[in-house]
Amino acid sequence: MGGALGNLIDRLPDGAVTDFLDLHAAGWHFAAFNIADVAITTGVGLLLWAALITGNGIP
């Protein structure tokens, strides 16, 4: 679900999915990353966090 949402967010402004972003600012280079993978990782992290906070385990 996170990846699908990430792709939807990417597709809305440009009509296409941006595969990788390579950002740099003020001489500092950030790692290249994929928006859909960021959404998936965030979703999994939120599920784990919710499971730890509630103590119910992962649904």
Active site residues: 19, 37
The CB-based long-range contact list for 44-48 (8 Å cut-off, 24+ gap) reads: 44/2
Whether residue 57 contacts residue 23, with contact meaning beta carbons closer than 8 Å, is answered with no
**Distance (Å, whole) CA 34 – CA 56:** 31
